Amino acid sequence: MLTFFYIQVYATEVLGISEESGATLIIIINALGIPVRAPLGYLTDHYIGPLNCLIPCVALCGIMIFAWAAAAAMALFVGTKPSLTKDLDKIGTRVGMALTIMSFGPLTGSSVAGTLIARTGGEYLAAQMWAGAALIVAVFALVGARVIISGPRVWAKL
């Protein structure tokens, strides 16, 4: 979310491009996800499973956010949570609980980033580092969930 919230301001203030071109960056970031979604969905459904696909995607976003190049990996979440649930009667409850926990990121992320930007005199580096570090922590949480569900087996389809 941080990328979408601050990319236009970053582009106009730091990179010196026009406001129109800065707004176009948001469209470009969203459009870049279109050709990736279908192949990832196919790969996820038929070969590796949603959790195994989500982990490297979030890791890649965490690495790329340091260069403001990350897009959201939220589309993969929809298929990931149900795949971790053996009892289909509890899917709604578990998805709701996960979304409740995840809501704190979008709720506080932009405010924290704005404070970091303000405290560093308009520099974006602290906000980038914070967002990247948050995604890397999320990767460790996802890997932990994977290990809890499947144990140390590398090729388990989750």
| Mean of per-residue pLDDT scores for the chain | 80
Count, residues in the chain: 158
Average pLDDT over every residue of 58-80: 65
Q: Is the pLDDT score of 156 beyond 70?
A: yes
- The angle at the Cα of 131, spanning 75 to 12, to the nearest 5 degrees, equals 95
Q: Please name which of 101, 51, 98 lies closest in space to residue 79, comparing C-alpha atoms.
A: 51
Structure-block tokens of residue 132: 């990247």
CA distance 25 to 18: 11
- The angle at the Cα of 27, spanning 101 to 54, to the nearest 5 degrees, equals 40
Average pLDDT over every residue of 71-99: 69
Q: Is the pLDDT score of 72 beyond 50?
A: no
The whole-number pLDDT of residue 119 equals: 93
What are the residue boundaries of the structural domains of the chain, listed by start? 2-150
Q: Is the pLDDT score of 80 beyond 70?
A: no
Helix, strand, or coil (residue 22)? helix
Q: Is the pLDDT score of 147 beyond 80?
A: yes
Q: Is the pLDDT score of 88 beyond 50?
A: yes
Q: Is the pLDDT score of 22 beyond 50?
A: yes
Q: Is the pLDDT score of 69 beyond 70?
A: no
Residues 40 and 53 sit within 8 Å (Cβ to Cβ): yes
What does pTM read for this prediction? 0.64
What totals of helices (H) and strands (E) does the chain contain, helices first? 8, 0
